[in-house]
């Protein structure tokens, strides 16, 4: 089965780390989205700075592309290793562009092995080797009949002053080379109607935070969450957000608690390993009801694990994170659109309910780029503020819905006391049984209030044939592979995505699953963590699980084949 | 009218504990500064970590942030970043400034965060009933070191001077006038202030007699603007314990730079 049926076209660009593989992929992706295509870009790389093998895969179509496609229609090889590693992924009519070919590759590929003078052109212009991917981009424009002047505009955006002229010249050389050969790919490509932004999940999440009035972002670098830090750091001058990168994750979260105590909206982010270091302070945000947003991007663990590859193995760790018992919200978006929404919702909910809100991302979601429409004019909820503060103000006043009015230091008459100890309504240490229990009950009343919130929120999403008795359950970035695979299912299937993992929307999930004859759970971990959570929260036992835990993403065509064999079995 | 900084919380420090002297000195400085219109009390945040010292926030009627053991310094920087108009002061123990979380003290000093850190330095873990801390002298016998500590003690003053703190001082809790003067100077300093307050633990490690013979106030005219001189003062004596303001210099603060990008 090829991906031809749904007209998804895939270009792969491979080279060593330092060859500009990611940047070339982004440039091509930007051009395609500017032309109105829907685009999905994956980027695969080992944890090193130079050498190794980096690979960008740009899948595009006139309809939404949910995920990476495994089969390639064009392969741009910036080094010989790229051909060796990817020659088995080529569609039958695939075209390969390279500086040179081995004899047996030429005999296999025939006329579709196209020599493009990438390195030699860079050398002639005395430009550094990395510029050779501009030759490749020019050649690709001719090959795919893409509007070349618009490619030049994209390059102008990318390079601005730095080596702009030479990159434009090299793109010309690539384009003219293919023009002389008069070589075009046999498939015709039609773009969609609308141009969109090309963003990865980290950037979308950062944009969501900004839209919801973020004041501070604090983080220590750790793949795959670092993109949020980079994005917001660059935006500081425009948006007024302030970004701090302190000495450790412990500092990150404790500093953030200080920021929120003083009344400013703050988010922090890390991979789950970094989040593991933050546990004691997360628990502090729980007991002291400090509004805090934490982005946690999963990668393959345990420990340092496989740092630049993907996983969904931290669901259980995150919903149970922090010692002691305290309410929290955990949202697991499945794509860039949902990451944006999660950024907005997380900040608003943290301030409305005065509790930690955790957003569970992963490497695929964080680092893969996709076309999306960035929403504007999102609502900002600043939470319940104390009015007409008197000397009797108590930061932890017991109220009917568990939410105490907030005042911040600097408010006349108010003494604002916050503490990691259990405390009374005024924030003074409490160790007697009655006030201890009263304050725990007060915090958990907020969970009751929050359960009403669930009815107003998209806690789950249902796709496909809503009447089908074959149901697939999934969460997080598995959405991409699943919805792409669903284009190729041979029988109607109902698809249920779980977005809110804490509090778990048992009512709605049960409604969607109760009539099913077969429930297939799909997730990227060893233990089947969602299957066990589902059983814990609803009593529903899945019929079977498809689990992938080799740190590599689900491939939609393979997944479609697996599911077809189950539903037809 | 003098502001009321007392609370109804019962003081649970051991009777005679020098922590009470630090509390009274601190209240006195704040009351004086408020009376002189140098501060509005609502614009001050008192912070603390966890240990005997950490109870101080329950005993002082003002904004307060009682953090985690060893982790209050980052929170203090966070408070100052969020609202630079606030005066952010705080107590730590030697356990939660020099043992757990030492990196926070070093980095806050290095970045010249505009916060004021007062260490209640009793040279052991007292609230956990008497174990060696990184400040206990070599040979210290506590419950976790029954045969004597085998570690050299940490030198906070020399460390703070060498990592870029702009205000470095030491005082003795029992000398309340001296402590008030140093705390006030620390609060008035713009930038990172570090004050090591020697606070003998009268229950587990009573060093009062030992200290009395060895402590002396330095001549601050010689020292306060000059890092080399400050280092010379604190390293030239081994059998004595110098008190006073060793360094008081000005440098742009972290928070000023953060908000002036």
Domain ranges of chain A: 4-181, 198-372, 384-457, 460-567
Q: What is the per-residue pLDDT across A61-95, written as a single tens digit (0 to 9) for each?
A: 999 999 988 899 999 999 999 999 999 999 999 99
A236 and chain B in contact, CB less than 8 A: yes
Chain B nearest-CA distance from A293, in A, is 15
B79 and chain A in contact, CB less than 8 A: yes
- Beta bridge mates, A331: A359, A500
- What is d(CA A312, CA A363) in angstroms, rounded to the nearest whole number? 9
The beta-carbon neighbor of A261 closest among B58, B79, B104 is: B79
Judging contacts by C-beta atoms under 8 Å, the chain B residues touching residue A414 are 42, 63
Count the Cβ atoms, other than its own, within 10 Å of residue B109: 26
List the end-to-end C-alpha distance of chain A, in Å, as a whole number. 19
Give the per-residue pLDDT at A48.
79
Chain A nearest-CA distance from B124, in A, is 22
Q: Counting Cβ atoms within 10 Å, is residue A558 exposed (0-12), middle (13-18) or buried (19+)?
A: middle
Count the Cβ atoms, other than its own, within 10 Å of residue A370: 29
The owner of tokens 């592309």 is A65
Q: What is the per-residue pLDDT across A412-466, written as a single tens digit (0 to 9) for each?
A: 999 999 999 999 999 999 999 999 999 999 999 999 999 999 999 999 999 999 9
A412 and chain B in contact, CB less than 8 A: yes
A392 CB contacts (<8 Å, ≥6 apart)?
none
Chain A nearest-CA distance from B71, in A, is 7
**Angle, alpha carbons A530-A533-A537 (nearest 5°):** 140
Residue A1: pLDDT over 50: no
Alpha-carbon distance values, A281 to A256, A278, A451, A527 (Å): 10, 6, 25, 28
Q: CB–CB of B82 and A215 under 8 A?
A: yes
Both tokens assigned to A10: 């895939």
Backbone angles phi, psi at A422, to 5 degrees: -60, 150
Q: What is the per-residue pLDDT across A309-363, written as a single tens digit (0 to 9) for each?
A: 999 999 999 999 999 999 999 999 999 999 999 999 999 999 999 999 999 999 9
Looking at per-residue confidence, does A397 or B1 come out higher? A397
Nearest to B121 by CA among B96, B103, B143: B96
The beta-carbon neighbor of A255 closest among B66, B77, B103 is: B77
Domains A198-372 and A460-567 share a fold: yes
Judging contacts by C-beta atoms under 8 Å, the chain A residues touching residue B58 are 428-429
Judging contacts by C-beta atoms under 8 Å, the chain B residues touching residue A266 are 78, 82
A220 and chain B in contact, CB less than 8 A: no
State which fold the B19-131+157-253 domain adopts.
Rossmann fold (3.40.50)
Nearest to B122 by CA among B199, B10, B217, B41: B199
Backbone angles phi, psi at B156, to 5 degrees: -70, -35
Nearest to A519 by CA among A499, A534, A536: A534
Determine the angle formed by the axes of helices A132-143 and A21-34, rounding to 10 degrees. Answer: 30
Judging contacts by C-beta atoms under 8 Å, the chain B residues touching residue A239 are none
**Angle, alpha carbons A355-B97-B34 (nearest 5°):** 75
B84 and chain A in contact, CB less than 8 A: no
B102 and chain A in contact, CB less than 8 A: no
Q: CB–CB of B63 and A417 under 8 A?
A: yes
Judging contacts by C-beta atoms under 8 Å, the chain B residues touching residue A261 are 65, 75, 78-79, 82
Average pLDDT over residues A236-255: 96
Q: CB–CB of B259 and A242 under 8 A?
A: yes
- What is d(CA B80, CA A262) in angstroms, rounded to the nearest whole number? 8
Ranges of H-type helices in A18-163: 21-34, 80-86, 103-109, 118-124, 132-143, 148-159
Give the per-residue pLDDT at A98.
96
DSSP type of residue B96: I
**Angle, alpha carbons A189-A190-A196 (nearest 5°):** 115
- What is d(CA B33, CA B30) in angstroms, rounded to the nearest whole number? 5
Residue A3: pLDDT over 90: no
DSSP type of residue B201: B
Q: What is the per-residue pLDDT across A155-207, written as a single tens digit (0 to 9) for each?
A: 888 887 778 899 999 999 999 999 999 998 888 888 888 889 999 999 999 99
ipTM: 0.98
Task: Report whether B51 contacts A228 (CB < 8 A).
Answer: no
CATH number of A460-567: 3.40.50.920
The beta-carbon neighbor of B42 closest among A237, A411, A421 is: A411
Task: Report whether A498 contacts A285 (CB < 8 A).
Answer: no
Q: CB–CB of B74 and A417 under 8 A?
A: no
Q: Per-residue confidence at A4, pLDDT binned at 50, 70, 90?
A: very low
State which fold the A198-372 domain adopts.
Rossmann fold (3.40.50)
Q: CB–CB of B68 and A281 under 8 A?
A: yes
Number of H helices, E strands in chain A: 20, 21
Nearest to B172 by CA among B225, B210, B145: B210
Judging contacts by C-beta atoms under 8 Å, the chain A residues touching residue B66 are 417-421, 429
Q: CB–CB of B57 and A237 under 8 A?
A: no
State which fold the A4-181 domain adopts.
Pyruvate-ferredoxin Oxidoreductase; domain 3 (3.40.920)
Chain A nearest-CA distance from B261, in A, is 7
Judging contacts by C-beta atoms under 8 Å, the chain A residues touching residue B65 are 258, 261, 417-419
B43 and chain A in contact, CB less than 8 A: yes
Tens digit of pLDDT at every position of chain B (261 positions):
578 999 999 999 999 999 999 999 999 999 999 999 999 999 999 999 999 999 999 999 999 999 999 999 999 999 999 999 999 999 999 999 999 999 999 999 999 999 999 999 999 999 999 999 999 999 999 999 999 999 999 999 999 999 999 999 999 999 999 999 999 999 999 999 999 999 999 999 999 999 999 999 999 988 788 999 999 999 998 889 999 999 999 999 999 999 998
Chain A nearest-CA distance from B252, in A, is 17
A342 and chain B in contact, CB less than 8 A: no
Helix, strand, coil content of chain A in percent (nearest 5): 40, 20, 40
B34 and chain A in contact, CB less than 8 A: no
Q: What is the per-residue pLDDT across A380-396, written as a single tens digit (0 to 9) for each?
A: 999 999 998 988 899 99
Judging contacts by C-beta atoms under 8 Å, the chain A residues touching residue B56 are none
Domain definitions of chain B by residue range: 19-131+157-253
Both tokens assigned to A189: 């490509």
Judging contacts by C-beta atoms under 8 Å, the chain B residues touching residue A428 are 7, 9, 58
Q: CB–CB of A258 and B63 under 8 A?
A: no
The beta-carbon neighbor of A258 closest among B44, B65, B259 is: B65
Judging contacts by C-beta atoms under 8 Å, the chain B residues touching residue A252 are 74
């Amino acid at each position: 089965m090829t991906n031809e049926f749904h007209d998804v076209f895939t270009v792969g660009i491979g080279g060593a780390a330092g060859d500009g593989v990611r940047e070339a992929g982004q440039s091509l992706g930007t051009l395609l989205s500017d032309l109105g295509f829907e685009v999905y870009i994956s980027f695969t790389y080992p944890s090193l700075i130079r050498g190794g093998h980096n690979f960008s895969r740009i899948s595009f179509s006139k309809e939404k592309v949910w995920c990476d496609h495994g089969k390639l229609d064009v392969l741009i090889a910036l080094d010989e290793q790229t051909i060796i590693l990817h020659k088995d992924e080529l569609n039958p009519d695939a075209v390969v562009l390279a500086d040179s070919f081995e004899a047996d590759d030429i005999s296999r590929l025939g006329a579709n092995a196209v020599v493009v003078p990438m390195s030699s052109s860079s050398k002639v212009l005395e430009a550094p080797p990395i510029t050779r991917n501009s030759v490749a981009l020019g050649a690709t424009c001719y090959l795919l009949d893409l509007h070349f002047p618009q490619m030049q505009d994209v390059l102008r955006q990318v390079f601005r002053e730095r080596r702009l002229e030479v990159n434009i010249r090299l793109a010309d050389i690539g384009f003219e080379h293919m023009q002389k050969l008069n070589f075009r790919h046999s498939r015709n490509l039609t773009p969609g109607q609308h141009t969109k932004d090309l963003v990865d999940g980290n950037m979308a999440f950062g944009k969501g935070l900004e839209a919801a009035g973020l004041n501070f972002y604090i983080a220590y670098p750790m793949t795959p969450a670092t993109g949020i830090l980079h994005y917001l750091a660059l935006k500081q001058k425009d948006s007024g957000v302030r970004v701090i990168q302190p000495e450790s994750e412990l500092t990150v979260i404790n500093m953030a608690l200080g920021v929120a105590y003083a009344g400013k909206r703050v988010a922090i982010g890390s991979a789950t390993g970094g989040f593991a270091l933050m546990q004691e302070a997360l628990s502090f945000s729980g007991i002291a009801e400090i509004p805090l947003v934490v982005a946690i991007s999963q990668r393959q663990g345990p420990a340092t694990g496989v740092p630049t590859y993907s996983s969904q193995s931290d669901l259980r760790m995150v919903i149970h994170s922090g010692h002691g018992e305290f309410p929290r919200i955990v949202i697991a978006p499945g794509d860039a659109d949902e990451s944006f929404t999660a950024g907005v919702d997380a900040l608003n909910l943290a301030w409305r309910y005065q509790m930690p809100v955790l957003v569970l991302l992963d490497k695929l979601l964080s680092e893969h780029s996709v076309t999306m429409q960035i929403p504007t004019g999102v609502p900002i909820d600043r939470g319940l503020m104390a009015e007409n503060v008197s000397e009797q103000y108590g930061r932890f006043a017991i109220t009917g819905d568990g939410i105490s009015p907030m005042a911040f230091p600097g408010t006349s008459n108010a003494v604002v006391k916050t503490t990691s100890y259990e405390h009374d309504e005024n924030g003074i240490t409490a160790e007697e049984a009655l006030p201890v229990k009263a304050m725990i009950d007060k915090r958990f009343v907020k969970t009751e209030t929050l359960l009403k919130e669930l009815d107003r929120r998209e806690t789950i999403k249902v796709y496909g044939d809503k009447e089908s008795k074959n149901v697939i359950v999934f969460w997080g970035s598995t959405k991409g592979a699943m919805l792409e695979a669903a284009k190729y299912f041979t029988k109607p299937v109902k698809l249920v995505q779980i977005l809110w993992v804490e509090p778990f929307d048992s009512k709605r999930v049960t409604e969607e699953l109760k009539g099913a004859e077969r429930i297939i759970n799909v997730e990227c971990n060893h233990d089947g963590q969602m299957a066990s959570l589902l059983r814990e929260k609803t009593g529903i036992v899945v019929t079977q699980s498809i689990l992938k835990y080799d740190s590599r993403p689900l491939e939609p065509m393979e997944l479609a084949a697996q599911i077809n064999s189950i539903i037809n079995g | 009218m003098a502001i009321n900084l007392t609370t109804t919380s019962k003081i649970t420090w051991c009777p005679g504990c020098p922590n009470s002297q630090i509390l009274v000195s601190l209240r006195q400085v704040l009351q004086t500064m408020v009376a002189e219109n140098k501060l509005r009390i609502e614009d001050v945040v008192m912070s603390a970590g966890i240990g005997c010292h950490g109870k101080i926030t329950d005993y002082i009627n003002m904004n307060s942030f009682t953090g985690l053991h060893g982790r209050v310094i980052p929170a203090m920087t966070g408070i100052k970043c969020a609202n630079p108009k606030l005066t952010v002061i705080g107590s730590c123990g030697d356990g939660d400034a020099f043992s757990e979380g030492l990196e926070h003290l070093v980095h806050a000093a290095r970045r010249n965060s505009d916060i004021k850190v007062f260490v209640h330095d009793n040279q052991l873990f007292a609230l956990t009933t008497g174990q060696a801390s990184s400040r206990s002298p070599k040979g210290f016998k506590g419950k976790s070191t029954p045969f004597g500590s085998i570690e050299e003690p940490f030198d906070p003053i020399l460390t703070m001077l060498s990592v870029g703190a702009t205000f470095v001082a030491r005082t003795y809790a029992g000398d309340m006038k001296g402590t008030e003067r140093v705390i006030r100077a620390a609060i008035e300093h713009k930038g990172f202030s570090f004050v090591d307050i020697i606070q003998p633990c009268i229950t587990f490690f009573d060093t009062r007699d030992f200290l009395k013979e060895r402590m002396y106030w330095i001549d601050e005219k010689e020292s306060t603007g000059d890092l080399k001189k400050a280092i010379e003062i604190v390293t030239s004596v081994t059998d004595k314990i110098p008190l006073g303001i060793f360094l008081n210099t000005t440098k742009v603060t972290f928070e000023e730079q953060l908000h002036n990008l």
